[in-house]
A and B are shown apart, each in its own frame.
Chain A
Amino acid sequence: MRLLKPMNKKNKIIYLTGGIALFFGLFLWINKGESIDVTTISTEVGIRSEVLISKFRENEELANSMYTEKVIEISGVIKEITFLNNRTTIVLYGNDKGSYILCDMQSSQKQEVKDLKKDQNVSIKGICKGFLKDVIVLNCILINKKMDE
């Protein structure tokens, strides 16, 4: 007794197309790039730089659960812009000299960062990675540039 009927030509094409699509889908998933573009992801938390640092200093575990691996928007004042290790980093002031926010900028932001100055107010969106002595935020983009009056 034959349990399976032989496939007709139409079904063969459907299965073959499905198989190829699945293979390419799997290939793309395995090889998907690292560059997460936060412009396409909505902000989960908006916060001032000094408040963010205070939260991590008060209770790091709680702050990790609130901010780490989340897309956050930070408003703050620029302490400096560094280009160490071929990366563009905007350093935002915290509430004292000891801790800052290190915002590692997406490579697409090079031109925008050129126009920025020390002590300027900015809003930056990125993915929070946690706290060492400073809060580390990666994949950052500038949201707006508020010129000091």
Chain B
Amino acid sequence: MNKILALVFFLITITSFDSKSDQVIARQGQVSFFSYTSVENIEAKNNQVLSILDLSKNEIAISMLMRAFVFEKSLMHEHFNESYIESDIYPKATFEGAIVNFDPLAEKQVRIIKGILSIHGIDKEIEIKTTIENTNESYILEGDFTVEVKDFDIKIPPLLASNIAKTISIKFRFEYQPYEQ
């Protein structure tokens, strides 16, 4: 009888461990980009970027709606979506990668994320340096990197070429919460 009870207890314990997710989610991550030229500076923010971090596999996935970028001027928003990014055809940008030597238990660490960034239908392998903070079961990822406009087949009309930087700076911040599936 005791053996049966022990077996039942063991099975319940195993099941409860299995049901606990190793994934955390950020539904309101922030991604900003900056284009600095002598003619004008362009800045846009997206505050609804989705990211899922798998703590057991060290994997990260990010997805964002290009139309959710907010610009200072609505004309910039219009040009960005209609002429450059073509949001109707390519509504999302994504990143999928792995954090090298990630330690989910470390309080603070600086790591490299290797993965594929997909913008405007073009995939590019990139490496991003990130700071990872672990505070009370919540993880915060922050960092910045640059991308080249030409790498993503984004066509800028010659007349506007001086208004848009060839290299775009990107900043990100994700605050993760337990993932209720």
A residues at B contact (CB < 8 Å)? 29-34, 36, 64, 68-69, 82, 84-85, 87, 89, 97-98, 100, 102, 104, 129-130, 132-134, 136, 138
Contact = CB atoms under 8 A, between A and B. Distances in A.
Contacts of B136: none
A36 B75 CA distance: 12
Interface stretch (B63-71, B106-114, B147-155): B63-71
A97 B181 contact: yes
A64 B66 CA distance: 13
Interface string B14-50: 0000000000010110100000000000000101101
Contact of A102 (B28, B45, B67, B70): B28
B91 interface: yes
B142 interface: no
25 contacts: A32-B73, A33-B72, A36-B74, A64-B91, A68-B67, A68-B91, A84-B28, A85-B28, A85-B30, A85-B47, A85-B173, A98-B180, A98-B181, A102-B27, A102-B48, A129-B67, A130-B67, A130-B68, A132-B48, A132-B65, A133-B25, A134-B48, A136-B48, A136-B65, A138-B70
Contacts of B71: 34
B77 interface: yes
Interface size range on B against A: 20 to 34
Given A82-B28, A97-B181, 7 more contacts: A32-B74, A34-B72, A85-B28, A100-B27, A104-B47, A129-B48, A129-B67
A104 B48 contact: yes
What 3 pairs between A and B have smallest CB-CB spacing? A132-B50, A129-B68, A136-B48
A34 to B, nearest CB: 5
A33 B68 contact: no
Chain B interface SS verdict (over half):
strand
Interface of B: 25, 27-28, 30, 45, 47-48, 50, 63-65, 67-68, 70-75, 77, 91-92, 173, 175, 180-181
Contact of A34 (B67, B70, B175): B70
B47 A87 contact: yes
A97 B25 CA distance: 13
B74 A134 contact: no
Contacts of B180: 97-98
A96 to B, nearest CB: 10
Contacts of B65: 129-130, 132, 136
Contacts of A100: 27
B47 A29 contact: no
